[in-house]
Amino acid sequence: MAKQRVGVYPGTFDPITNGHIDIIKRGIGLVDRLVIGVATNPSKNPLFTLEERVDIVTRETSALALETGVQIDVVQFDELLMKFAERVGADFIIRGLRAVADFEYEFQMTGMNYQINPDIETVFLMADPKYQTIASRLVKEVAMYGGNIAAFVPKQVGLEVVAKVEAHSKKG
């Protein structure tokens, strides 16, 4: 029996965007099991709690798992990415690239990860051109200023982002 191919797609997913969903859809074509690692990353000052992000990503990817038959696990992590990848038995890490600026950062990260564990490859998937400008940070910023984010995130996620932004603005 062939070894199961396991990929890890890490991120903060605050919020998950249509660009993330695109990378997930294409990434599951490469694996038998995809582990979506939701990072704590408090330095990014997340809008959603870690538990909310895990729940949202799980909800937004559950239909894909059913459609494709690929096992998708959404797991929170607060450790070095390579340690997390080792712990879940990953063969490779899936990363999405939007622009040259992403490449510079990812190039450095891949080099460091290779030094930590050369047995886990990094696979880069170029974002679909219609998603190349989407970033979670920008989605939150547009929502904070009352802009329409419907083209950037799944419908339910958009409603949740707007509700969170409105709740935060009432507090402040």
- Which pairing describes strands 71-77 and 33-39: parallel, antiparallel, or unpaired? parallel
Helices within 39-154 (DSSP H only) = 50-68, 81-87, 100-116, 136-144
Q: Are 20 and 128 in contact (CB under 8 A)?
A: no
Task: List residues with catalytic annotation.
Answer: 20, 44, 98, 136
Query: d(Cα 91, Cα 54) in Å, to the nearest integer?
Result: 22
Residue 64 identity (one-letter amino acid):
L
